[in-house]
């Protein structure tokens, strides 16, 4: 059951969240943050590509062992 103070509590909570967000951004360099995000995207994409290639090779070897045939592939 909602009380009369519930709207006020929500407003204070939103205000607190806004203050916390502003406090987090003070003293941070946006250009440095962007560079770190870009580096992270490059690292995660590179690792994802390597993992994909290794997974395909492993699946291909497993297929050869299991069936004795070449794996079906697009040509």
Q: What is the pLDDT of residues 28-69, one digit of tens each?
A: 788 988 999 999 999 999 999 999 999 999 999 999 999 999
Whole-number Cα distances in Å, 13 to 20, 22, 48, 60: 10, 14, 39, 55
- pTM of the entire predicted model: 0.55
pLDDT over threshold 70, residue 1: no
User: In terms of pLDDT, which residue wins out, 49 or 4?
Assistant: 49
The pLDDT of residue 72: 87
The pLDDT of residue 74: 60
Residue 26 to residue 47: CA distance in whole angstroms:
32
Residue 29: other Cβ atoms inside 10 A? 9
The pLDDT of residue 75: 56
User: In terms of pLDDT, which residue wins out, 45 or 8?
Assistant: 45
């Amino acid at each position: 059951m909602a009380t009369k103070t519930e709207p006020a509590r929500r407003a204070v909570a939103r205000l607190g969240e806004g203050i916390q967000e502003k406090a987090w951004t003070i003293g941070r360099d946006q250009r440095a943050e962007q560079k770190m995000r870009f580096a992270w995207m490059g690292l995660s994409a590179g690792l994802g590509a390597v993992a994909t290639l290794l997974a395909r090779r492993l699946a291909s070897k497993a297929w050869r062992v299991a069936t004795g045939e070449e794996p079906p592939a697009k040509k």
